[in-house]
């Protein structure tokens, strides 16, 4: 759904009023944006997620209304917030599917593994958990984020991960070698 020039101008005016603290502008902004945000969510998400994503996008928009710069285009600003929420919903859904698939794969592998191999794997997992528990929280966080493939781009995270790996290796050697 698109807004014509008149509706865009009205939205610009209403969102500017809302950013200035005029609570009377809430309802007209909602009425103009709900169909747009909902249609956008319908385009990119499965039907089960559409209503929640559209609602969350508008909640975030209203939470950030005071940040709106009247020099910016109101429609573009609103769509940017909505698309970020849609992206978040898609990533969560992808992670849920990804995690459930790993659980199923692990179950299948365990059926084909001998009891001895299962015991060795359990002991190894316990030893890793004990060693992780001795690390500083930021080191544990960096290693766990890396293991879950939640890597942050940038030299800062790479350096933090490098230090965390070194500390993990040193702690492992102290406890298990």
- Alpha helices by DSSP H, listed for 45-136, are 47-63, 74-112, 115-133
My answer on whether 20 and 79 are in the same domain is: yes
160 phi and psi angles, rounded to 5 deg: -60, -40
Q: Which tokens belong to 172? A: 């492992």
CA distance 118 to 123: 9
Coil, strand, or helix at residue 147?
helix
**Are 24 and 88 within one domain?**
yes
Q: Which range of residues forms the domain containing residue 118? A: 114-176
Contact between residue 38 and residue 49 where contact means Cβ atoms under 8 Å apart? no
Please report, in tens digits, the pLDDT of each residue of the chain (177 residues total): 678 889 889 999 999 999 998 889 989 999 999 999 999 899 888 888 899 999 999 999 999 898 889 998 998 899 899 999 988 888 887 776 644 444 444 444 445 556 776 677 777 777 777 887 888 888 888 887 777 777 666 677 788 888 888 988 888 888 776
pLDDT tens digit string along 72-98? 899 889 989 999 998 888 888 777 664
Residue 24 CA to residue 32 CA, distance in Å, equals 14
The CATH number for 75's domain is: 1.10.1740.10
Domain count across the chain: 2
Residues 89, 13: one domain? yes
Q: Say what the pLDDT of residue 99 is.
A: 47
- Rounded distance between C-alpha atoms, residue 38 and residue 145, angstroms: 33
Angle at 96 (CA atoms; ends 104, 119), nearest 5 degrees: 35
Shared-domain flag, residues 77 and 119: no
């Amino acid at each position: 759904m698109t807004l014509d020039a008149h509706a865009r101008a009205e939205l610009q005016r209403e969102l500017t009023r809302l950013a200035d603290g005029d609570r009377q502008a809430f309802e007209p902004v909602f009425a103009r944006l709900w169909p747009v945000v909902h249609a956008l969510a319908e385009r990119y998400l499965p039907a089960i997620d559409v209503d929640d994503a559209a609602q969350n996008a508008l909640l975030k928009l209203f939470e950030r209304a005071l940040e709106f710069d009247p020099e910016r285009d109101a429609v573009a600003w609103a769509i940017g917030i909505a698309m970020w929420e849609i992206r978040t919903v898609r990533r969560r859904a992808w992670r849920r599917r990804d995690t459930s698939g790993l659980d199923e794969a692990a179950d299948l592998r365990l059926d084909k593994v001998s009891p001895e191999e299962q015991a060795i794997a359990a002991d190894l997992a316990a030893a890793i958990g004990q060693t992780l528990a001795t690390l500083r929280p930021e080191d544990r966080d960096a290693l766990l984020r890396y293991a879950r493939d939640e890597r942050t781009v940038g030299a800062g995270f790479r350096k933090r991960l490098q230090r965390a790996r070194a500390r993990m290796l040193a702690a492992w050697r102290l406890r298990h070698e």
